[in-house]
Amino acid sequence: MKEKISIGILGLGTVGSGVVKVLKNHDEVEIKKIAVKDITKKRNIDGLNKSMLTDNPQTIVEDTDIQVVIEVIGGINPAFDLIKTAIKNKKHIVTANKELVAKHGAELFELAKKNNVTILYEAAVAGGIPIIMPLKLSLGANNISKIAGILNGTTNYILTKMDTEGREFEDVLKEAQDLGYAEADPSGDVKGFDAAYKIAILSSIAFDKKVDVNNVYIGGIDNITSTDISFAKEFGYKIKLVAIGQMANDNKIDVRVHPMLVPKTHLLYGVDDVVNAVMVEGDAVGKVMFSGPGAGDLPTASSVVGDLLCIVGDLLLDNTPIPLMRCKQRNGAKHLEIDNTRNKYFIRVNAKNVPGVLGDLGTICGNNNINLYNIVQKGVLEDGSARVVLLTEAALEKDLNKAIEEMNKKESINKVQNIIRVMD
């Protein structure tokens, strides 16, 4: 029996530093090398042995003594090529890189299979929340019908502040950047790309099909206003950026990310601030929810080191690391186009304050197979125009789009200002 497993770490940023801190409590692991961009940079890690640092990551993936490589660089380059080299050199991989797994996971998993090594990526989806291993193991008896989650803490923080303090998007975004919750370029978060990578990964596991992230419908929160949030609250909803993966008709899957009005009765309604949550619906278990910190140094490091110790435990016993965690997807998923999805809708309209305008809106909806369950005029603005809010029953997206086109052409209607889908 071997006493220690030698590992290398690619990256020593926020997550990498957290990994090193957590590993101080685990004697069965020995960090041999850590790749960084700048060896001279000061690190907030007590007792860090600087002799382990290298600015040449290639030395880690080619070192014959290193058995497991932890990748916490993020992004595609140079992470993709480094991991491919490590796999070809028979090294097991632990990664927190959601973009890499979503875009190139299929290729990497196939390469890992050929080289008889394992890739684990619990930290790539929900930070410190365990969800991938539960999906593969604990919930393995279920046919999963739906996953719905709040998978981005930055957007959840922004929407929560807009809800509780009545502030506008740009104002809260700047605060989130000042606090370190949002990047200088926040588009990956606020436009929904980050959550899209994560729901693509989860859907691949849940439905046992390769999900191409390019086929995931993506909408962001940058068009949400305090007015939308205020009206949603009046009707008993909160607006959240929700990632959904669910089975549809004809063996297709419906995978998407966009803002939604979440009702008080839903499990995701009370998930606020930077907290993440994932709801899973299975035929045996019913609905279960996993919730907690979706980012941060130590929470994410918890998942990274958890994956590492799973591999290490088996290597110390000379076993193949957790074969059930290996990728099983063989076939690509058939995606349901967004135009063919059925949704309930919140529609905010600016109209002329004239008799018959509500009737015009109702007629347009009726002519396009859309049933309204609420239509309310919400006062008159300073310019004399009227605010009108419509809530619909479930309708086809393509019918909704036709109705919106007709509304924008109607003389009594100035503009459809926003459309937000409503969660069941």
Q: What domains can be seen in the chain, in order of their start residue?
A: 5-128+297-325 (3.40.50.720), 132-293 (3.30.360.10), 340-422 (3.30.70.260)
Per-residue confidence (pLDDT) for residue 249, from 0 to 100: 87
Rounded CA-CA distance 258/243 in Å is: 7
Burial (CB count within 10 angstroms: exposed 0-12, middle 13-18, buried 19+), residue 258: buried
State how far the Cα of 163 lies from the Cα of 182, in Å rounded to an integer. 18
Q: Flag residues of the chain having pLDDT under 70.
A: 1-2, 319-330
Beta carbons of 116 and 311 less than 8 angstroms apart: no
Q: Which of 30, 219, 223, 13 minimizes the C-alpha distance to 97? A: 13
Q: Are 27 and 328 in contact (CB under 8 A)?
A: no
- For 195, the 3-state DSSP assignment is helix
Catalytic option among 91, 198, 209, 344 = 198
Tell me the torsion sign for CA atoms 397, 401, 406, 412: positive
Q: What is the pLDDT of residue 1?
A: 46
**198 is annotated as an active-site residue:** yes
- Count Cβ atoms within 10 A of the Cβ of residue 178 and give its class: 0-12 exposed, 13-18 middle, 19 or more buried: exposed
